[in-house]
Amino acid sequence: MPTAKAEHLQAKIKRLKQRHKWLLERKQQLHNSGEDQISLTDPDARAMPASEQVGVGYNAQIAVDAKHHLIAEQEIYNHVSDHGLLTVTASAAKEALDVEDITVLADGGYYQMDDLEACDKAGITTCVPSRKPRSYGNANQFDKANFTYDAKENVYICPAGEKLPRAVTGTRNNRPYVVYGRRSACSRCEIKSLCKPTKGHKRIHRYEAQDTLTRVKDRMAAWPKAMDVRREIVEHPFGSIKHWIGQRDFLTRRLPNVRAEFSLTALAYNMRRAINLVGVESLVNAAKA
């Protein structure tokens, strides 16, 4: 019995050493790739969050026209998040639809300052809900949303009515910003306990793209049903592709192949959608014209 136990432990130790060696090799492979993750089944695939689960796959982006629910633009990425994909997708859809102005509805996953500013400069009107800010300390305390910016005087007005002027400038993640605040205003404030002071007094950071974010926020406030409309538009193709075509997973591997596969999927969807809208005869006649 002791001999059997010793042999069992030695075999287990051998397996652990082999596993350790394999993991070190994968670590070196990850380091050499310059990526933050690698997939052993498909080198281009990434771990994508999906609801409460995580699946290894790709990020499918589509732009859908609100009138006919046709796919105006589609592309596959292996970006884990949607940050940075709004401008490129909306710009391609704008070109495909051959329009001067376009209004884009997107969910909060696309709320990224640089991307929204790029859309602004490209003549793309965006309706994107902001992400809920992180809460530090007491969630009932005042935060940036409680302070009003006065563009004429270039000051922030706090809930107590005090004016916080421009104080210093800085840069964060290559984004320049201006800090507004006045220590004397906070020192005599009667409702200071309701605020979230930084370094003894309240400091408000304002980025160069803050005007863009304000416009987006105002649009969302003026259109409370915007996200309901978005779901009705963009979820229609995804639901149809899953139920009509039965495609819930990609059948190919590597990014170029998956892109080709999804292009064919989008084409099949658009053709079927067009047939439902105008009929086969009208579609054939249009193709002949």
CA 110 to chain centroid, in Å, comes to: 3
Please report the pLDDT score of residue 78 as a whole number. 92
Task: Note whether 261 and 121 are same-domain residues.
Answer: yes
Query: Does the pLDDT at position 133 exceed 70?
Result: no
* Average pLDDT over all residues of the chain: 88
* 64/122 same-domain check: yes
Domain-located, residue 250: yes
* Residue scoring higher pLDDT (36 or 264): 264
User: Does 284 lie in the same domain as 173?
Assistant: no
Residues 107 and 232 in one domain: yes
Would residue 96 count as lying in a domain? yes
Residue 26 has pLDDT above 80, yes or no: yes
Q: Give yes or no for residue 200 having a pLDDT over 80.
A: no
Same domain, 262 and 119: yes
Confidence of residue 289 (pLDDT cuts 50, 70, 90): confident
Tokens found for residue 29 = 């492979």
141 against 240, higher pLDDT = 240
- Work out the pLDDT band at 198, boundaries 50, 70, 90: low
The CATH number linked to 56 is 3.30.420
Share of the chain above pLDDT 70, in %: 93
Residues 62 and 109 in one domain: yes
pLDDT of the residue at 224: 93
On whether both 239 and 110 belong to a single domain, the answer is yes
- Residue 196 pLDDT level (bands cut at 50, 70, 90): low
Distance CA 157, CA 149 (A): 6
Instruction: Tell me the C-alpha distance between 73 and 56, whole Å.
Output: 23
Q: Considering the domain boundaries, does residue 27 fall inside one?
A: yes
Mean pLDDT of all residues in 172-194: 85
Q: What DSSP assignment string belongs to 170-202?
A: EEETTEEEEEE--HHHHHT-TTGGGS--BTTB-
* Dihedral over alpha carbons 90, 94, 95, 101 (to 10 degrees): -140
Q: Is residue 255 part of a domain?
A: yes
The residues facing 54 across adjacent strands are 49
Span 131-158, average pLDDT: 77
192 and 234 share a domain?
A: no
Instruction: Please write the tens of the pLDDT for every residue from 225-266.
Output: 999 999 999 988 998 898 888 888 899 999 999 999 999 999
pLDDT for residue 18 is more than 90? yes
Angle between helices 86-97 and 113-121 (to 10 degrees): 30
Q: Are residues 172 and 190 in the same domain?
A: yes
Report pLDDT for 134.
56
108 with 231, same domain: the answer is: yes
Instruction: Say if 138 falls within a structural domain.
Output: no
Residue 144 has pLDDT above 90, yes or no: no
Beta bridge pairs of residue 10: none
* Residue 13 confidence (pLDDT): 92
pLDDT tens string 47-63: 887 666 778 899 999 99
pTM above 0.75, yes or no: yes
Note the pLDDT of residue 124.
95
**What range does the domain containing 181 cover?**
144-207
Q: What percent of the chain has pLDDT over 90?
A: 50
Residue 137 lies in a domain: no
Rounded to 5°, the CA angle 278-264-238 comes to: 70
In a domain, 42, yes or no: no
147-170 pLDDT, tens digit each: 889 989 999 999 989 899 988 888
pLDDT, position 142: 82
pLDDT tens, residue by residue, 73-114: 999 999 989 999 999 999 999 999 999 999 999 999 999 999
Do 277 and 152 lie in one domain? The reply is no
Residue 249 lies in a domain: yes
Residue 1 confidence (pLDDT) above 70: no
Q: Is residue 271 located within the same domain as residue 253? A: yes
Q: How many domains does the chain have?
A: 3
